[in-house]
Amino acid sequence: MTPTAATNLLLTAFVWQQSARWTLRDRVVRNEAGEGVISAAIAVLVMAFLGVLMWTLFKDTLTKANTNVNTELDKIK
């Protein structure tokens, strides 16, 4: 084997080893990219749920109040 061929073989092996090592590190080490987006989406869903719940309760309260007012007005007539 010539020195140039040996150097090329060593260089190829070194590049392959570095690539494999970085690929494995990227898979093992947890990447937190996108965590903020997920947290924001969860917060939006929670707020939407609370908004729907509050609107339902508010609407129910107003319906009951309207019924009570109408009942009292009918008693006055």
Digit-coded pLDDT (tens) for 19-51: 988 888 777 776 666 778 889 999 999 999 999
Closest CA relative to residue 9, chosen from 73, 1, 67: 1
How many CB atoms are located within 10 Å of the residue 58 CB?
10
Q: What pTM was computed for the model?
A: 0.49
Instruction: Judge whether residue 11 has pLDDT over 80.
Output: yes
Q: Which residue has the higher pLDDT, 51 or 5?
A: 51
As given in the structure block, the two tokens for residue 51 are 């908004």
